[in-house]
């Protein structure tokens, strides 16, 4: 009887657990992974995720975007990825614009936008790719580049033939099926491949039936799933799906949903896709064609009701949204359907990357907590990523500081806005203290502007930091200019909405951490105070020249965030590492100049104030090792101020 009772614990282990529970042979099996699988999503391919969600009866959605025209728009699109990524899309996809140099390294190319989504936003991403009018070598080169960048999924399309006189090329790429075959030939099973389905038949197809046969060819050539062209009536899709199944297409077919967002965008899309807008929709829209809000409301209503019908049919498990790079309509539809799942729980306390080579990564220095994209950028050349211990990292050299537009030293806010927040004119170090203080408190500055970002924090204060707000305000006022901090946590549930991370059923812990810039006078007093706390507080104090004072034993990293989970080894995702602190120091000091000082004229008093701080202040970090006791770092700072008075 006992042998029949073989369990595996979690749904997430389904694909790999078959061999795990029987027979002593497995004692020789060393196939277990070297890092605890905290989040199956990081290890599964897209088609597996899709299957798992379907088996679990979880409805999901995905989002389509196109590459923007300007670098500024690219910066905004990336912020949109982060915001819409928070709702839990199964994947996003990025369209391929043959006219826009889509495979290039330009900040606005399809390739780079998809790269950014995967690596920096941690989103499962499909890159579209068209094949007609391209050479085999070009296509292979694009695919190789995509693979190198960590892209794992391709939407294989024919693309629109250039010019009227298009003719089939012998041995060329004439149809999407040629691209599917090419990918499978050259890259074996590396990529998950998606193809397009046309619920009304492709406009150029001989017939609806002929188009279905083409679709079947694409699937049989190696496609993993189908996303459909938009349609206006649920029954269109449901009929199409039944017809597909009838001829033997068994892979997932995902309906493409287009929430109508405006009169003109609808007309343009209809023109491009050669679709007919049903009369009942025209009847509603035409009378309100100049009222964008009304059209959008109607579009949301229509999409919600269509999606509900699709989901209720039991045949549809996921919905694909044509967002047109807009946020409001799609988000509203998803929220009303109840499939927008803003899960505050994070697999790890920092933003993970979806590049396959970073799957095992589970430790990072705390310094880049507010600049995760910079961290990913500066470590993109690493071959190994630390897991288990930071000390195990074999590639500790950080990439050089470069002025990469998308998310590096530049702020995403324009100069005028930054000047309003950080001061048109500084009168002394105290005006800088004030900016820091306003950022912490959320109160408007003396000119009535809220300080919503700082050079070291491109976003408003984290919820967790809010726990320390009163203390932070007090010390910033007096010239302890904080840029990073966390409270101590002595075993809160991993599901805690503010400090929790990782799978449920676990417990998370933190050591209190405080990082700030401050003057050499304060540092002198601080060092005297720290003698009293020698065994309890670890510190690193460094200036821009690299003069470094620390009591870290043997240059060892200090784990400051860790979690204990059922049936797992311990995860310690954040460390204070003395070695990488010196790389972070370069970046942290550079931000004073690149983001702040350069807002002002050279030689101007404001610029000289920032330059003075850059040249003379110290960057300090403090860790209170006694996490079960009350955080002593505020007392350390208090003692320091007392000593100064």
Neighbours of 400 (CB within 10 A): 8
620 three-state secondary structure: strand
Which residues neighbour 351 within 8 Å (Cβ) at sequence distance 6 or greater?
121, 122, 372, 373
User: Rounded to an integer, what distance in angstroms lies between the CA atom of residue 642 and that of residue 522?
Assistant: 11
Please, which residue, 2 or 272, has the CB nearer to a copy of itself?
2
Nearest CA-CA partner of 456 in 481, 477, 434: 481
Please, which residue, 314 or 553, has the CB nearer to a copy of itself?
553
Please, which residue, 36 or 89, has the CB nearer to a copy of itself?
36
Each residue 348-387 as x (binds a copy of itself by CB under 8 A) or -, in order, gives ---------------------------------------x
CB of 508 to a copy of itself, least distance (A): 12
Is 568 near a copy of itself (CB under 8 A)? yes
The whole-angstrom distance between residue 493's C-alpha and the CA centroid of its chain comes to 24
Please, which residue, 2 or 246, has the CB nearer to a copy of itself?
2
Tokens 């403090």 map to which residue? 622
| Of 570, 630, 642, 643, the one binding a copy of itself by CB under 8 A | 570
Strand-pair category, 253-257 with 225-230: parallel
CB of 271 to a copy of itself, least distance (A): 51
Nearest CA-CA partner of 194 in 50, 325, 327, 66: 50
Task: Work out the widest C-alpha separation in the chain, in whole angstroms.
Answer: 88
- Which residues are registered as beta bridge partners of 457? 454
Each residue 610-639 as x (binds a copy of itself by CB under 8 A) or -, in order, gives --------x----x-xxxx-----------
Sheet holding 507-510, edge to edge: 364-365, 571-576, 558-564, 507-510, 489-493
Let me know: does 485 contact 472? Beta carbons within 8 Å.
yes
Is 400 near a copy of itself (CB under 8 A)? no
User: Rounded to an integer, what distance in angstroms lies between the CA atom of residue 583 and that of residue 560?
Assistant: 19
Strand segments (E) across 5-115: 60-65, 91-94
Please, which residue, 463 or 490, has the CB nearer to a copy of itself?
490
User: Rounded to an integer, what distance in angstroms lies between the CA atom of residue 288 and that of residue 536?
Assistant: 68
| Of 564, 590, 608, 644, the one binding a copy of itself by CB under 8 A | 564
CB of 405 to a copy of itself, least distance (A): 26
Q: Which pair of tokens denotes residue 553? A: 């034993």
Identify which range of 187-195, 303-311, 395-403, 469-477 contacts a copy of itself by CB under 8 A: 395-403
Residues 26 to 65: which contact a copy of itself by CB under 8 A?
26-37
CB of 620 to a copy of itself, least distance (A): 11
Please, which residue, 40 or 118, has the CB nearer to a copy of itself?
40
Tokens 């399809």 map to which residue? 110
Please, which residue, 38 or 354, has the CB nearer to a copy of itself?
38
323 three-state secondary structure: coil
Identify which range of 98-106, 324-332, 391-399, 478-486 contacts a copy of itself by CB under 8 A: 391-399
| Of 62, 486, 572, 595, the one binding a copy of itself by CB under 8 A | 572
CB of 611 to a copy of itself, least distance (A): 20
Is 644 near a copy of itself (CB under 8 A)? no
CB of 47 to a copy of itself, least distance (A): 20
| Of 63, 575, 609, 632, the one binding a copy of itself by CB under 8 A | 575
Let me know: does 80 contact 117? Beta carbons within 8 Å.
no
User: Rounded to an integer, what distance in angstroms lies between the CA atom of residue 145 and that of residue 256?
Assistant: 28
Strand-pair category, 537-543 with 225-230: unpaired
CB of 53 to a copy of itself, least distance (A): 19
Residues 517 to 546: which contact a copy of itself by CB under 8 A?
520, 523-524, 527, 534-536, 538, 541-543, 545-546
Is 141 near a copy of itself (CB under 8 A)? no
Residues 191 to 210: which contact a copy of itself by CB under 8 A?
none
Count of chain residues binding a copy of itself (CB under 8 A):
95
User: Rounded to an integer, what distance in angstroms lies between the CA atom of residue 597 and that of residue 323?
Assistant: 38
Please, which residue, 2 or 293, has the CB nearer to a copy of itself?
2
Please, which residue, 419 or 582, has the CB nearer to a copy of itself?
582
| Of 356, 396, 399, 442, the one binding a copy of itself by CB under 8 A | 396
Neighbours of 137 (CB within 10 A): 8
Q: How far is CA 338 from CA 87, 180, 268, 376, 564, in A?
A: 11, 35, 30, 33, 31
User: Rounded to an integer, what distance in angstroms lies between the CA atom of residue 258 and that of residue 275?
Assistant: 13
CB of 518 to a copy of itself, least distance (A): 12
Residues 218 to 257: which contact a copy of itself by CB under 8 A?
none
Identify which range of 4-12, 136-144, 440-448, 630-638 contacts a copy of itself by CB under 8 A: 4-12
Nearest CA-CA partner of 265 in 285, 247, 244, 236: 285
62 three-state secondary structure: strand
CB of 400 to a copy of itself, least distance (A): 12
Nearest CA-CA partner of 87 in 301, 252, 330: 330
- Active-site residue 124, yes or no? no
Please, which residue, 256 or 503, has the CB nearer to a copy of itself?
503
Residues 457 to 496: which contact a copy of itself by CB under 8 A?
490-491
Tokens 């799978």 map to which residue? 503
Residues 414 to 433: which contact a copy of itself by CB under 8 A?
none
| Of 72, 550, 604, 611, the one binding a copy of itself by CB under 8 A | 550
- Catalytic residue from among 64, 107, 124, 587: 64
Which residues are known catalytic residues? 64
């Amino acid at each position: 009887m006992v042998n029949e009772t073989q369990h595996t614990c979690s749904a997430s282990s389904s694909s790999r657990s078959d061999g795990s529970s029987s027979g002593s042979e497995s004692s020789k099996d060393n196939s277990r992974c070297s890092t605890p699988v905290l989040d199956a999503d990081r290890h599964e391919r897209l088609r597996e995720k899709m299957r798992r969600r379907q088996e679990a009866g979880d409805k999901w959605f995905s989002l389509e975007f196109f590459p923007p025209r300007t670098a500024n728009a690219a910066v905004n699109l990336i912020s949109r990825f982060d915001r819409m990524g928070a709702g839990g899309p199964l994947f996003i996809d990025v369209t391929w614009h043959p006219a826009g140099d889509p495979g290039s390294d330009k900040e606005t190319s399809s390739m780079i936008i998809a790269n950014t989504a995967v690596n920096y936003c941690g989103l499962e991403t499909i890159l579209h790719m068209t094949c007609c009018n391209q050479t085999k070598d070009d296509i292979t080169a694009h695919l190789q580049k995509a693979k190198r960048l960590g892209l794992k999924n391709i939407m294989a399309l024919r693309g629109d033939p250039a010019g009227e006189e298009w003719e089939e090329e012998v041995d060329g790429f004439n149809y999407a099926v040629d691209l599917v075959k090419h990918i499978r030939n050259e890259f074996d099973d590396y990529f998950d491949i998606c193809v397009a389905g046309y619920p009304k038949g492709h406009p150029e197809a001989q017939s609806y039936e002929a188009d279905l046969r083409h679709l079947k060819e694409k699937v049989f050539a190696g496609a993993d799933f189908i996303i459909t062209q938009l349609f206006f009536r649920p029954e269109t899709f449901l009929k199409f799906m039944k017809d597909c199944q009838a001829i033997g297409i068994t892979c997932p077919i995902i309906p493409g949903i287009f929430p109508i967002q405006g009169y003109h965008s609808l007309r343009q899309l209809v023109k491009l896709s050669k679709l007919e807008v049903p009369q009942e929709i025209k009847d509603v829209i035409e009378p309100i064609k100049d009222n964008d809000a009304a059209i959008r409301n109607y579009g949301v209503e229509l999409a919600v009701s269509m999606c509900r019908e699709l989901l209720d049919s039991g045949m549809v498990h996921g919905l694909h949204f044509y967002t047109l790079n807009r946020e409001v309509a799609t988000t509203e539809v998803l929220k009303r359907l109840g499939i927008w799942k803003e899960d505050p729980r994070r697999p790890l306390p920092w933003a993970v990357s979806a590049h396959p080579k970073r799957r095992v990564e589970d430790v990072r220095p705390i310094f880049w907590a507010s600049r995760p994209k910079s961290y990913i950028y500066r470590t993109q050349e690493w071959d190994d990523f630390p897991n288990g211990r930071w000390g195990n990292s074999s590639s500790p050299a950080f990439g050089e500081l470069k002025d990469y537009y998308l998310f590096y030293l530049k702020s995403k806010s324009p100069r005028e806005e930054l000047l309003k927040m950080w001061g048109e004119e500084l009168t002394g170090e105290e005006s800088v203290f004030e900016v820091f203080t306003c950022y912490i408190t959320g109160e408007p500055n003396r000119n009535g502007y809220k300080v919503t970002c700082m050079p070291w924090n491109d976003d408003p204060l984290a919820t967790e930091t809010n726990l320390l707000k009163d203390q932070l305000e007090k010390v910033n006022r007096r010239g302890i200019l904080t840029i990073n901090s966390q409270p101590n946590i002595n075993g809160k549930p991993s599901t805690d909405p503010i400090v929790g991370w990782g799978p449920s059923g676990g417990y998370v812990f933190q050591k209190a951490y405080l990082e700030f810039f401050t003057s050499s006078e304060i540092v002198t007093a601080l060092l005297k105070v720290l003698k009293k706390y020698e065994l309890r507080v670890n510190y690193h104090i460094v200036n821009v020249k690299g003069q470094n004072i620390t009591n870290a034993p043997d240059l060892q990293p200090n784990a400051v965030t860790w979690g204990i989970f059922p049936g797992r080894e311990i995860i310690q995702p954040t460390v204070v590492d003395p070695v990488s602190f010196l790389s972070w120091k370069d970046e942290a000091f550079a931000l004073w100049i690149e983001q702040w000082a350069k807002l002002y004229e050279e030689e101007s008093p404001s610029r000289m104030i920032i330059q003075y701080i850059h040249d003379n202040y110290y960057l300090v970090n403090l860790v209170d090792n006694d996490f079960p006791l009350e955080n002593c770092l505020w007392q350390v700072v208090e003692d320091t101020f007392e000593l100064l008075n």
